[in-house]
Chain A
Amino acid sequence: MRKLGYSPVSQFILLLLAVSTVLAAQDRPLLQDYQGRKIDLIHFDPATQPLDPDELNQILPIKAGTPLSMALVRASIQRLYATGRYKDIQVDAEPRSPDPNSPLVIRFSTRNSWFIGEVEMDGNVGEPPNQGQILNASRLELGDPFAEENLKTAADNIKRLLVANGYYESVVTPGFNYSDHEQVNIIFHVTPGKRAHFDTPQLKGNYKLTPAQIIRATKWRRFIVGGWKQITQSRVRQGIEGIRGKYQKSNRLLATISLDSMEYNPAQRRASPHLTIDAGPRVEIKAIGAKVSRKKLVDNVPIFEEHTVDRDLLVEGQRNLREEFQAAGYFEAQVEFKEQKVVNDRAEIDYLITPGIRHTFAHLEIQGNKYFTTQSIRERMFLEPKSFQFRRGRYSEAFVRDDEDAITNLYKSNGFRDVKVAATPIDDYQGKVGNIAVVIHIDEGPQWFVSHLTVSGAKKLDLAPILSTLSSSEDQPFSEFNVAADRDAIISYYFQNGFANANFEWSSTPGVKPTLVDLQFRIVEGEQQFVREVLTMGLQTTRPKLVYRNLLLSPGDPLSPIRMSDTQRRLYDLGVFAQVNMAIQNPDGETERKYVVYDIEEARRYSITGGFGAEIARIGGGSSSQSLDNPGGATGFSPRVSFDVSRINLFGLGHTLSFRSRVSTLQKRGLIDYLAPRIFNHTNFDLTFTALYDDSKDIKTFKSRREEGSIQLTQRFSKPTTLFYRFNYRQVHVSDLHINPLLAPRLAQSVRIGEASVNLIQDRRDDPTDAHKGIYNTVDMAFASSAFGSQANFIRILARNATYRRIGKKLVFARETTMGIEPSFGTVKNNPDLSDPIPLPERFFGGGGSSHRGFPENQAGPRDPLTGFPVGGSALLFNSTELRFPLLGANIGGVIFHDMGNIYSSLSKISFRVKQKDLTDFDYMAHAAGFGIRYRTPIGPVRADLAYSINSPKFNGFKGTFTELVQCTGLGTCQRTEQRISRLQYFFSIGQTF
């Protein structure tokens, strides 16, 4: 031994200790040695844990001051792991001292779990695919547990998507960084490379068509120009569908086309699709025994839609054809099918149809109903005796079955458990051969009621708000439908309050009387979950306060999925976010409190749109400032272009600044507006400031130039109802007046208008661009007064009511009525002698494609007695009715319309008189009727209307120039010519009339 300078005894003691230490290390204390010893302290390493100390204390069954139990240690590990917030847990025990009975210090060493946060990509990838599709391909979901090994799979998925879209040389590299709240932000670095082009497809199999025909069907080659198109996933799919369509046209319904692979040539950057095609035989479907059009066969036999032939589809076709015949009056129609063998590349399927006698469903009778009226039962039935809409009635065996079931369900859901419904058809009704009647006999039976309802199990949540709304409450009819509805209501109520695992069971026992039932609802509430914190990610320019104001969840609130969705919707409504993803972090973990995460993608701040359009109608005439020809308008063509720029999310506050412009031969317009939504933190109020410059000649009588500033407060009462409070101040300059020269100087003065107005809109239409049902009301009231700096004093009230109603499946009846009055009042300060008529540009003008198609644009109402140009009025009444119907396919429709009304010189002049008294009388009701075509586009219907006016107005006009008019007026030698608004009017534009 090395000399340490110790005595031999000391050295011996040291040796003993060293040996015993080694021995002790080799013979570690068994767990039983610690079992039962008192726990002095429990601590965690690291000290900062994913759960709060209170939560940890609640979760852990092992407690300081109690004896150590291995079973409890095991249970502690299990419960901590089950929270989902831990990846690894190890428990150490250390005695306070070497004394075998000394208490223990227990240490939990943990490694926490991580969860997916933001998933982004960088790299310039030409669409398709777009960024959203690329990130979706990763299948990394917000809030889910993160595992580094899954990143490679995610990158591979993205690569697969890119390759499917022609990016064979793409490289995808994942990266990630740990963030707070146990979140991991992931970024995929994508280098796409160049997109490959198609190459000549390699075909194999029995394809029967020539390769050229197949390639043409794919549309993978460029038309005329030649060369191959770039590869995208949708082009590949459409190409295969194109081949299938080609085979279908020649009735090869059993053709199979499969894409085996895409062979990529990196030198040329082309990929050749390898296709295996089996054309299959021609499948001929024939109807024997009755005439059935090809279209009806295709509609009813689903083999065409499913691109395959199997027995189930043929049976379905058999059923559909039978019902088709029954619906046409062949109530006893029989249909069978027979498959022939394939002979000479031809497979025949014959549908053998025996239509039978053609009947008429003449009469329907319902007997035995006491609880429900016949009317309320009939509303639920398909069976329909003959009527204007159904010439032979609507009858089939399927309808009879469905109606029996519908009536039975109606009664059962109202407590009639024992109801019996039987339909009896009667042939040759009232002795008429071919007439059928159906008698539906209802044996209602007794109605069962709930005598007593007991709800048990609700310990944590107060059910009082919902109990009063239950359908199965005492003295209400008892039915399983009602119980199911109550179950849904109760579970939904629990769900909204954070009880994601609530369970509902029910049972019933006989009540004190035979038709009474005692109901028992038992609820197993499960654990309630709460919001730990709401996390938001992805904000770069938006101020966090804007987002926080719209959060409907706070820490400690019950975890309600509905509030989560409502918050998401409010964030979308701000109009500054392109995407708002939401998730619960660690959804499967057994913790009481959870993070709610919103991953927000800000929208592009600038948007630029441009457009062009045109109008063709009687909008021309009098185009030169001097010419007074054609006061009633002549055919004109007005092209227009528009250009808009918007900057959203100004200052990160969600405000928007827009510039909108529109230029056409009739109008030059520029507008700047600033929108501040949810002003002063009120979600229902928006504030808008607008500056407008408008120079237009859409009224042939004059040219107007308008400069206007306005401020508007929008108040949303509810989804359909909105109120606008507006103040505007404008200066209007009028020139090129085509009216009596004596009036021209006064009416040519520019005028300032200061006006306060209120506008109410109530929109309950199903589709604002092309309504099929609903109602639309608007009332606009404006008050122009010298108190607002106005040089004219008047009130304007304009009200509109439109209704839309379906008739049958395909027709829509639409009606709109508009009424307006505009009385003036008082005199203008500094001009007390002036009677102050309403300035020309402020009067009502009407007529044209959007109001009354019997008139050209803005040509209705009073006219100048000398020149015949319209001068507007201070009252209006229009009514339009349209019958809209499909014409050709799904996108082309037709309308038949009738418009009536006019612009009147004053409220008291409104009249329904149809005859014009003389050439100066315009206060009568003009009528026009016509038809139109509508072509549905993504932005609304494009329309063309042709109208014929029954009583278009006659008026005095002047042929010549304005200078000539001035001269002859002075001399009193003006030659008036009698003119008339053309009876035939046509219009072409975008959007429904109303």
Chain B
Amino acid sequence: MRRLAIIAASLFVLNAPAAVIDRIAVALGNQVITESEIIEEIRVTAYLNGGPVDLSPKSRHQAADRLIEQKLVHKERELERYDDPPGDTAAATLAAIEKRYPSAAAFDSALREYGLTRADLQAHLLWQSSLLQFVEQRFRPAVQVTRDDVKKYFDEKVLPAAKPGQKVNLDDMRESIEETLTSALADKQLDDWLRDTRAHTKVEFYDEAFR
């Protein structure tokens, strides 16, 4: 009996193990991305896309890449002292998402299924509006769309896509084409900047967090 008691006690202890709750996954410069950040990024993305949570190494790497870009943008915003986006933008988006559910409890339950809280989702939404604002402030002012660019887009993209008989007029569409081209060019500049900055930043992956 005594032996049984000892074995039972040991098994009880084994039922309450020490768990790794977080670790460094990526180091870039003097910043880090932790494993919990990667997992949270996967969960939020899965929730917003309505898909399953995939914690495979490949998925972790993809999430890490997105977070690396996030960190680089954050650092640049800090260095250049860009303004933070207004908090109500993210709050409004969160409210709009909540409206899809019959009740607040249902919303919270849906989030819990993905291992998320409202704060996690709101933080993600806030990051998205920060990124948009960064692009607005940093890259959009330098983008110039000429009349020739607009015409070219109209000829190559709009006209071929028009339905037979549909009347499309360049002047009517000029403003929306300009907006489309400006956004595209600004995004391209963002991509170029990200690629360039990442090339100049020492990034180190810690294998343990990607297993």
Contact = CB atoms under 8 A, between A and B. Distances in A.
A279 B7 CA distance: 92
A73 B36 contact: yes
A10 B4 contact: yes
A81 B32 contact: yes
Contacts of A105: 18
A50 B194 CA distance: 34
Interface string A27-45: 0111110100000000000
A13 B8 contact: yes
Interface stretch (B22-30, B150-158, B171-179): B22-30
B22 A70 contact: yes
Nearest to B29: A588
B98 interface: no
B34 A74 contact: yes
Interface residues of A, number: 39
Nearest to B23: A90
B16 A98 contact: yes
Interface stretch (A15-23, A252-260, A774-782, A820-828): A15-23
B14 interface: yes
A76 to B, nearest CB: 9
B30 A590 contact: yes
B11 interface: yes
Contact of A90 (B17, B24, B37): B24
B199 interface: no
Interface string A69-109: 01001100110011010001111111101100000010100
Interface in A832-879: none
Interface in B15-61: 15-24, 27, 30-32, 34, 36-37
A13 B36 CA distance: 37
B20 A92 contact: yes
B20 A588 contact: no
B4 A14 contact: yes
Contacts of A21: 11, 14-15
Contact of A94 (B11, B19, B34): B19
Contacts of A28: 17, 19
A70 B22 CA distance: 8
A91 B31 contact: no
Contact of A588 (B7, B16, B24, B30): B30
B23 A98 contact: no
Interface in A591-650: none
B31 A14 contact: no
Nearest to B208: A90
Given A81-B27, A88-B206, A89-B23, A24 B7 contact: no
Interface in B155-211: 206, 208
Contacts of B22: 31, 70, 73-74, 77, 90-91
Given A32-B115, A81-B30, A90 B20 contact: yes
A94 B17 contact: yes
A105 B16 CA distance: 12
Contacts of A93: 18-19, 21
B187 to A, nearest CB: 29
A330 B206 CA distance: 74
B18 A94 contact: yes
Contacts of B20: 90-92
A17 B18 contact: no
Given A18-B11, A88-B206, A107 B32 contact: no
A388 interface: no
Nearest to A99: B16
Nearest to A24: B15
B152 to A, nearest CB: 36
A651 interface: no
A6 interface: yes
Contacts of B8: 13-14, 17
Contacts of B18: 92-94, 105, 107
Contacts of B12: 17, 98
A77 B33 CA distance: 9
Contact of B16 (A13, A74, A88, A95): A95
Contacts, number: 96
Contacts of A84: 30
B15 A82 contact: no
Contacts of A20: 11, 15
A25 interface: yes
B15 A98 contact: yes
Most central of B4, B23, B24 by chain A CB within 10 Å: B24
Contact of B23 (A25, A29, A91): A91
A709 interface: no
A91 to B, nearest CB: 5
A17 B16 contact: no
A89 B16 contact: no
A585 to B, nearest CB: 15
A25 B17 CA distance: 8
A84 B34 CA distance: 16
Contacts of A32: 115
Nearest to A28: B19
Nearest to A16: B11
B41 to A, nearest CB: 12
Contacts of A24: 14-15, 17
Contact of B21 (A10, A92, A589): A92
A105 B18 CA distance: 9
Nearest to A90: B23
A89 B23 CA distance: 6
Nearest to A104: B21
A77 B34 contact: yes
A92 B19 contact: yes
A29 B21 CA distance: 10
Nearest to B206: A88
A88 B36 CA distance: 15
Nearest to A29: B19
A105 B27 CA distance: 26
Contacts of B15: 20-21, 24, 98
A31 B21 CA distance: 6
A25 to B, nearest CB: 7
Contacts of A90: 20, 22-24, 208
Contacts of B17: 24-25, 28, 94
A95 B132 CA distance: 42
B36 A31 contact: yes
A630 B53 CA distance: 113
A588 B30 CA distance: 8
Contacts of A18: 11
A17 B30 CA distance: 46
Given A21-B11, A34-B21, A88-B24, A77 B4 contact: no
A150 to B, nearest CB: 11
Contacts of B30: 81-82, 84, 588-590
Contacts of A6: 4
A78 B115 contact: no
Interface string B108-128: 000000010000000000000
Nearest to B21: A93
A34 B20 CA distance: 11
A2 to B, nearest CB: 14
Contact of A17 (B11, B27, B36): B11
Contact of B36 (A14, A70, A81, A89): A70
A778 B89 CA distance: 80
A91 B21 contact: yes
A18 B8 CA distance: 9
Which 8 pairs show the lowest CB-CB distances between chains A and B? A94-B18, A90-B23, A17-B11, A98-B16, A93-B21, A81-B32, A92-B18, A91-B22
Interface of A: 6, 10, 13-14, 17-18, 20-21, 24-25, 28-32, 34, 70, 73-74, 77-78, 81-82, 84, 88-95, 97-98, 105, 107, 588-590
10 contacts: A13-B4, A13-B8, A17-B7, A17-B12, A20-B15, A31-B36, A34-B19, A70-B22, A78-B34, A92-B21
Given A73-B22, A94-B16, 8 more contacts: A6-B4, A21-B11, A74-B34, A89-B32, A92-B20, A94-B17, A98-B15, A588-B30
